[in-house]
Copies of this chain bind each other. A is one copy, B any other.
Amino acid sequence: MKPKLRKFIDSNIPVIENDLIFQVEKVKGPSILKKSMLYSLNAGGKKIRPLLVLATLSTFKKDTKIGIEVASVIEMIHTYSLIHDDLPSMDNDDIRRGLPTNHKVFGESVSILAGNALNTLVFGILADLKHANPQQKIKIISLLSETAGVQGMLGGQLLDIESEEKRITVSELEEIHNNKTGQLLRFSIESGAILANATPQQVSLLRNYAKHIGLAFQIKDDILDIEGSTEELGKTAGKDIISLKNTYPSLLSLEGAKDKLHEHYRLALEALAQLDEDTILLSEIANYIVMRDK
């Protein structure tokens, strides 16, 4: 990892982790439900999405602290999607980030409620943002409802389920990932841009950057599933092959997938090059996504 990003991560991850705990702790309600929410929020993870919110603010020379709550929000949405994804009736996973999955610890019914609770809590946090005016709050709420909903993440999850039984094309696979994972990355970047009062043209360039790092992220995940070890990944390696899942390597060959990865990396950097700001941090994040080994 490059030095500027390393420093950015080291100074911001503890702030995000503290805020995640703070946001859940301050809610009144049954302790077992809050424990289940915190269990998955505290289970590690790369925190790419919250870091993108803060890195976007930083790109526009804004104090990252005005984006902390929004950073927590997107990590909560991502976490709820993982809790539900791991359920026996969905992907039926026992291990996530090297730990037993939420329903293995708390049972299915509590896990379903904990996911729902995160999905519901985030909109209250956004309505209550300290460093945003009412118009900004409403824009961000609307953006989250769109990117995490039927038009975004949930639609992508459904397409993913439907694709399980059949061979699909690369462009169908791209549509799944643009929705399932790409839209939340778009939210991360655009919510940061809204808080920073970016212009529509700047938002459009950043949306393009988000799209390409999103696809790069997924392709890299697919490659790591083949080349990585279970220990490094914190989840079962080779699972995609065993389950005959549609992946970039399975559709394009491993070499083809690596070419595609670098093409998206190049396109992400091209989008940044058109932005008249210091984009070194965002380009280092793109680099990390492509180079990481877990």
**A interface, CB within 8 angstroms of B:** 27-30, 32-34, 37, 84, 87-90, 107-110, 112-113, 115-117, 119-128, 134-135, 137-139, 141-142, 144-146, 148-151, 154-155, 157-159, 161-162
Contacts and interface: CB of A to CB of B under 8 A. Distances in A.
Main secondary structure of the interface of A (DSSP, over half): helix
Nearest to A116: B154
A161 B27 contact: no
Contact of A123 (B135, B144, B155): B144
A154 B113 contact: yes
A154 B107 CA distance: 16
A171 to B, nearest CB: 16
Copies of the polypeptide in the assembly: 2
A79 to B, nearest CB: 13
B113 A157 contact: yes
Residue among A34, A113, A154, A161 with the most chain B CB within 10 A? A154
Nearest to A115: B116
Contacts of A127: 138-139, 141-142, 145
20 contacts: A28-B150, A29-B150, A33-B150, A34-B150, A88-B89, A89-B109, A109-B161, A113-B161, A116-B116, A121-B145, A121-B149, A123-B141, A123-B144, A123-B145, A124-B149, A127-B139, A127-B145, A128-B142, A134-B137, A141-B141
Contact of A30 (B113, B139, B159): B159
A122 to B, nearest CB: 8
Given A123-B123, A137-B138, A145-B123, A150 B112 contact: no
A159 to B, nearest CB: 6
